[in-house]
C-alpha cells in the first residue's frame, strides 16, 4: 500500500556528485517528514538528512555543507543531492517517511528498499 522507491545510486570517484530520488506512493508525502538514512556493512543505520512537512531541513554533521535534501510535493518525490563525495559516504542509502522528524531510525514507519552508493578513492 505505502511504497517508497529509491533510485539514482551508483559508483563514483571521490569528489564526485550523485543525486538520489525517492518516489512515494500510497501516501501523501507533504503530510510527512521524509528523510534519508544510510548503513554501511558492520555499522549501525544513521540519519543523513531530514525534511519536515513544512520544508524545514536537518543534516548530520558529517554531510552538512555537502548534501542537500529537497522535496517536490507535486511529484510526491524526495531528493538527496550529494556533492564532494568521500569514500566514507559509501553505504546503502534508504528513503523513509514518518509523521514526525524523529532522530532515531527505529521510529520511522515506512522505508524504501535502499540504493547502493559506492565512492572510490
Supply the pLDDT for residue 55.
Answer: 92
pLDDT per residue, tens digit, the chain (121 aa), is 789 999 999 999 999 999 999 999 987 767 889 999 999 999 999 999 999 988 999 999 999 999 999 999 888 899 999 999 999 999 999 999 999 999 899 999 999 999 999 999 9
CB 76 within 8 A of CB 25: yes
- End-to-end, the C-alpha distance of the chain in Å comes to 40
Amino acid at each position: 500500500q505505502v511504497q517508497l522507491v529509491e533510485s539514482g545510486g551508483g559508483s563514483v570517484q571521490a569528489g564526485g556528485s550523485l543525486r538520489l530520488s525517492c518516489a512515494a506512493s500510497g501516501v501523501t508525502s507533504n503530510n510527512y517528514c521524509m528523510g534519508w538514512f544510510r548503513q554501511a556493512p558492520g555499522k549501525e543505520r544513521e540519519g543523513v538528512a531530514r525534511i519536515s512537512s513544512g520544508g524545514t531541513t536537518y543534516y548530520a554533521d558529517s554531510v552538512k555543507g555537502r548534501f542537500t535534501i529537497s522535496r517536490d510535493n507535486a511529484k510526491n518525490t524526495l531528493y538527496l543531492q550529494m556533492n564532494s563525495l568521500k569514500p566514507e559516504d559509501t553505504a546503502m542509502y534508504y528513503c523513509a517517511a514518518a509523521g514526525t522528524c524523529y532522530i532515531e531510525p527505529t521510529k520511522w514507519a515506512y522505508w524504501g528498499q535502499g540504493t547502493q552508493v559506492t565512492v572510490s578513492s
